[in-house]
A and B are shown apart, each in its own frame.
Chain A
Amino acid sequence: MTSHDSTTSDAGAQPLGRTGIRRLGRRRARERAPGEPGSLVAWLFVLPGIAIFAVFTMAPLLYAMGLSFYDWDGLTPKRFIGLANYREAFADPTIRATFLHVVELFAFYTFLPIAFGLLLTALLTRSPIRGLTFYRTVLFLPATIAGVVVAQAWIWIYDKDGPLNAGLRAVGLGSFAQAWLGSFTWALPAVGLVGTWVSYGLCMVLFIAGAQRISPSLYEAARVDGAGAFREFFAVTLPGLRGEIAVALMLTTINALRSFDIVWNTTQGGPGGTTTVPSVLMYLNAFTYNRVGYASTIAVMLAVSILCIIGVIQFFSERGDRR
């Protein structure tokens, strides 16, 4: 027997225990049914996916990593400069500032949407609501609109004479009214709130789907024990949604780190660079400053920081699962 056969049959059979099913698994492995892990046919099934992934994701990724070691204007021959781009990037206060801006954006792109998503989930799943699908759809709509359109709408909302300032004036807070996107203090939170508005829908849909999977018996038990709406939420819903929250954390964190469309279309990184994020800097270097190598360096730094953060989130969510 080849080593391959034994691996396949063992892997297929182990969770099922030493019963008749194990023998069935052994026979199937010998016949190499389509879809069985390790069989040639299985490879053929995943090939199109792998090919597309290799050509459109892995190859550009590796190419960009390679470019980060070059000085290249995108037109004339490249010049290998080793780690010089990285040395420059780590010493560049502008890059440091953009990463700090992203840290501030986490509050708006990640924490607020998750908090808001949980609140809506608690409201929408607590008791049967007439027209739940309608509310869910309407609340999810912001997530489906193109970033450019969203940006244009919010430029108008934040305008000196826009609805936000009109509202402030109407309730006697006219002294706070200002051109939000032109303010050195408020532009970044203002852009961040647009991110909140775009991202909460995804969190909400994830959480509602997760909450519907929680066994009703848990809620019944909680109610029998005399838990109110709050206890019920913290004792049953929240722990039951741990997996979904981890997924939402990852997706929204990635969105925050690579946020580009909303920032570019509302402020282009201004005023005075106060809303510049790494992806804006990457774009400028690649397409405006003729520094493709340096842009790749920023891209690699961005990708590495995303991977690190995702790794941390995954570590904690998996450790939670094992408990």
Chain B
Amino acid sequence: MNVRRMSRGKTIVIGVVVALAVGVAAVAGSASAGRTADTTLTAWTYDNQDPGLKPVLTQLSKNFEKSHPGVKINVLFKDFNAILATVGRALQSDSGPDLTQGNQGFQTDGALVKAKLILPLDKYAAKYNWVKLLGPGTTQQYRWSADGKQFGVGSTYGVAMTGQHVALFYNKAKLKELGINPATALSSLGGFQKALATARAKLPADEPVLMLGNKNGYEAAWLIWSVIGAISNPQALRDWVYQKDGATINRAPALTGFSMLQSWQKKGYFPSDVNALANADAAANFAKGSGVFFADGVWNAGTIKAGLKSAAGVAPMPPARKGGAPSAIGSTSGSWHISAKSKNPDLAAEWLNYVVTSPAAVKLMQSQQQIPAVVTAPAPKGDPYLAALVTSWKQLSKANGLTLFEDWASPTMLQTVSSQMQQLIAGKTTPKAAATALQKDWDKFHKTLR
């Protein structure tokens, strides 16, 4: 009968499918069942820049292996997006890393805490004195309630190596040429704006005054969040990031900041291709001598120094008034976590403490023009540029002036902010409409938390 033949055919199909699946699983199983006599710690990181943290992590792991016979540290350097897109599933599997970087905020760290994939590190934080070494304001960005719904409170789930804030880079030679006194230009927001106007009037029209590459859209937020932090209270911006009840961005400081961004665009301070220029290219252009000022992440400090050499200057973003408290958008580098499935959490914590706080780590980081997150680290000698970077990080940490990155506030905030910043610059929206759109995103996510 036809029907019987059909069902027999089906049976065979299913049989083969099952056989195939079992075969695949068997192969996969035998591949992962490798064994070593020694203890191996696997660590995933996106701090893969060289020069940067890659040589630091490599050297420190070698040191650690030497001082811990029988221990092997397997550091895997990956792309930032590759880690964020896969880290959750990797930690769920039985062959995931012992240590990994996540990313502060609800998108990654919040999700990992909620799924109970990473360990609370309170006991190690106490043992190794992390809160004191990094500062209580700084370590707040690793704290979560056990359900992953409250950010900035609860247990400490991570720790990180370097400070990564946005600072104001400037071209000393250009300032001199234009007759602008750096001390006045950098001491207050008013002085900074005057300097921008002076430079615009004197420079050829096709040369930008304030370098900015806003291709992704969040680069303009780096610039303007520092301004908003200066004219308001950084704590209000942090509360917004931490999703505190009642927090809102839709207030006067943000509206002033967004208007300022639009007026700077209208006055022609930015490059003409600002919305198409990538941050890395903006940094490269600035290093080649295009533009007078550049509000950029300290992670590009090396590039700028290599290009401008002795003309490279760096300062904290100017405060609202002369002598005011400094504020800047920023945080530490990506948070490190220990997997809930790690068989050696104590050893993992020991390695982590070694790469974050040890004198050897501090020295290696500074040799790569990186700012150690540890505020007790001594400023480097014989390198005024790096010393300025280190000092500005310490000042920000001590004054609690870091606004944290605005996109941590919700899983969708990065795209929302990026879109609104590009629209603001292109004149496609108003400061009020942009602030409303950001708050709408925030409110939508806030509802899912309560």
Where the two chains meet, the residues of A that have a C-beta atom closer than 8 Å to any C-beta of B are 2-4, 7, 38, 40, 43-44, 47-48, 50-51, 54-55, 73-76, 158-160, 178-184, 268-273, 284, 287-291
CB neighbours (8 Å) of A55 from chain B are 17, 20-21
> Least Cβ distance of A96 to chain B in Å?
16
Task: Known contacts A74-B89, A181-B276, A268-B216; decide if A38 and B115 are in contact (CB<8 Å).
Answer: no
Residue A182 contacts which of B16, B276, B411, B412 (CB distance < 8 angstroms)? B276
* Binary interface encoding of chain B residues 406-440 relative to chain A, with 1 for a CB under 8 A from any of its CBs, else 0: 00000110110011101100101000000000000
- B 83-108 to A, binary, CB cutoff 8 A, 1 in contact else 0: 01100110010000000000000010
Across the interface, A3 reaches (CB within 8 A) one of B1, B89, B273, B277, namely: B1
B114: CB under 8 A from chain A?
yes
Contacting B275 at CB < 8 Å: which of A38, A76, A271?
A: A271
Contacts of A2 in B (CB 8 A): 1-2
Q: With A55-B21, A182-B275, A272-B423 in contact, do A75 and B217 touch (Cβ < 8 Å)?
A: no
Judging by beta carbons under 8 Å apart, are A272 and B426 in contact? yes
Chain B residues 137 to 171 lying within 8 A of chain A, measured CB to CB, are none
Residue of B whose beta carbon sits closest to that of A287: B85
Residues of B close to A75: CB separation below 8 A? 88-89, 92, 111-112, 114-115, 117
A55-B20, A160-B272, A272-B423 known; A47 and B12 CB under 8 Å? yes
Query: Is there contact, CB below 8 Å, between A290 and B117?
Result: no
Q: List 5 A-B contacts (CB under 8 A).
A: A4-B2, A75-B114, A159-B276, A181-B215, A270-B419
Question: A273 CA to B422 CA in the complex, in Å?
Answer: 9
In the complex, A184 Cα to B111 Cα: how many Å?
34
- The 3 lowest CB-CB distance pairs between A and B, nearest first, are A182-B276, A179-B273, A182-B275
A178 to B117 CA separation, bound complex (whole angstroms)? 48
Find A74's partner among B8, B16, B88, B215 (CB 8 Å cutoff). B88
CA distance A299 to B92 in the complex (A): 25
A-chain residues with CB within 8 Å of residue B8 when the two chains form the complex:
40
Interface size on B, as a range, is: 35 or more
A182 and B115 form a contact (CB under 8 A): no
Chain A contacts for B271, CB-based, 8 A: 160
Q: Any chain A CB within 8 A of the CB of B13? A: yes
Chain A residue with the shortest CB-CB distance to B276? A182
B13 near A50: Cβ-Cβ < 8 Å: yes
Q: Enumerate B214-253 residues with CB–CB distance to A below 8 Å.
A: 215-217
Could you tell me if B1 and A73 are in contact, using CB atoms closer than 8 angstroms?
A: no
User: Does chain A have a CB within 8 A of B51?
Assistant: no
> Could you tell me the distance between the alpha carbons of A51 and B10 in the complex, rounded to whole angstroms?
11
Q: Which listed residue, B21, B88, B89, B107, touches A288 by the CB 8 Å rule?
A: B107
Main secondary structure of the interface of A (DSSP, over half): loop
Does any Cβ of A come within 8 Å of B378's Cβ?
Answer: no
User: A2-B1, A160-B276, A182-B277 are known contacts. Are A288 and B16 too (CB-CB below 8 A)?
Assistant: no
Q: Would you call A270 and B216 a contact (CB within 8 A)?
A: yes
Q: State whether the Cβ of B274 lies closer than 8 Å to any Cβ in chain A.
A: yes
A289 to B416, CA, bound (A): 12
List residues of chain B with CB within 8 A of the CB of A268: 216
**Contacts A44-B12, A75-B92, A270-B275: A289 and B412 contacting too (C-beta < 8 A)?**
yes
- Give bound CA distance, A55 to B20, whole Å: 9
In the complex, are the beta carbons of B1 and A289 less than 8 A apart? no
Residue A184 contacts which of B21, B114, B117, B428 (CB distance < 8 angstroms)? B428
Q: A179 to B217: give the CA distance in the assembly, Å.
A: 15
Beta-carbon contact of B276 and A179 below 8 Å: yes
Please, what's the 1-or-0 string for B7-24, where 1 marks a CB less than 8 Å from any CB in chain A? 011001100110011000
Chain B, residues 348-384, CB within 8 Å of chain A (1/0): the string is: 0000000000000000000000000000000000000
Q: With a CB–CB cut-off of 8 A, which chain A residues contact B275?
A: 179, 182-183, 270-271
Contact in complex: A288, B215 (CB < 8 Å): no
Asked if A76 meets B114 with Cβ closer than 8 Å, knowing A2-B1, A4-B2, A272-B423, the reply is yes
B447 interface residue (CB < 8 Å to A): no
A272-B428 in contact (CB<8A): yes
A51→B17 contact, CB < 8 A: yes
Which residue among B217, B273, B419 has the maximum number of chain A CB atoms within 10 Å of its CB? Answer: B273
A48 to B272, CA, bound (A): 57
B5: Cβ under 8 A from any A Cβ: yes
Across-interface contacts of B13 in A (CB, < 8 A): 43, 47, 50-51, 54
Please name the residue on chain B nearest to A58 by beta carbon.
B17
Which residues does chain A contribute within 8 Å of B17, judged by CB atoms?
A: 51, 54-55
Q: Give the distance in Å from the alpha carbon of A158 to the alpha carbon of B215 in the complex.
A: 13
Q: Closest B-chain residue to A179, C-beta based?
A: B273
Question: Which of chain B's residues has its CB closest to A76's CB?
Answer: B115
Q: How far is the CA of A76 from the CA of B116 in the complex (A)?
A: 9
Cα A273 to Cα B217 with chains together (Å): 10
Chain B, residues 167-201, CB within 8 Å of chain A (1/0): the string is: 00000000000000000000000000000000000
Query: Closest Cβ of chain B: how far from A216's Cβ, in Å?
Result: 46
For A181, list chain B residues within 8 Å (CB).
215, 276
- Which residues of the partner chain A approach B426 to less than 8 Å between Cβ atoms? 184, 271-272
- Residues of chain A with a CB closer than 8 A to B89's CB: 74-75
Give A106 to B275 CA distance when docked, in angstroms. Answer: 25
> How far is it, in angstroms, between the C-alpha of A75 and the C-alpha of B418 when the chains are bound?
26
The interface residues of chain B lying within 8 Å CB-to-CB of A47 are 12-13, 16
B88: A residues at CB distance < 8 A: 74-75
List, in ascending order, chain B residues with CB within 8 A of A3's CB.
1-2
Separation of A159 and B411 alpha carbons in the complex (Å): 31
In chain B between 1 and 60, which residues have their CB closer than 8 angstroms to a CB of chain A? 1-2, 5, 8-9, 12-13, 16-17, 20-21
Determine whether the beta carbon of B272 is less than 8 Å from that of A51: no
B428 partner residues in chain A, CB cutoff 8 A? 184, 272
Q: Is the CB of A180 within 8 A of B114?
A: no
Report yes or no: A271 in contact with B5, Cβ–Cβ below 8 A. no
Q: Is the CB of B419 within 8 A of A273?
A: yes
Q: How far is the CB of B144 from chain A (nearest CB, A)?
A: 14
CB distance from A6 to the nearest CB of B (A): 11
Q: By the criterion CB–CB under 8 Å, are B423 and A179 in contact?
A: no
Contacts of B92 in A (CB 8 A): 75
State the CA gap A20–B428 with chains docked (Å): 78
In angstroms, Cα B419 to Cα A291, docked, is 20
Q: In the complex, how many angstroms separate the beta carbon of B321 from the nearest chain A beta carbon?
A: 34
A51-B13, A287-B85 as given contacts; A160 in contact with B114, CB under 8 Å: no
Report yes or no: A270 in contact with B273, Cβ–Cβ below 8 A.
no
Q: In the complex, A195 Cα to B273 Cα: how many Å?
A: 23
Q: How far is the CA of A181 from the CA of B101 in the complex (A)?
A: 33
The interface residues of chain B lying within 8 Å CB-to-CB of A160 are 271-273, 276-277
Contact B20 A51 (CB under 8 A): yes
Question: A152 CB to closest chain B CB, in angstroms?
Answer: 11
A71: nearest residue on chain B (CB-CB)?
Answer: B448
Bound complex: CA of A269 vs CA of B92, how far in Å?
A: 31
Give Cα A290 to B110, complex, Å: 11
* Min CB–CB distance A10 → chain B (angstroms): 14
* Chain A residue contacts of B216, Cβ below 8 A: 268, 270
If A51-B20, A54-B13, A182-B276 touch, whether A288 touches B411 (CB-CB below 8 Å) is yes
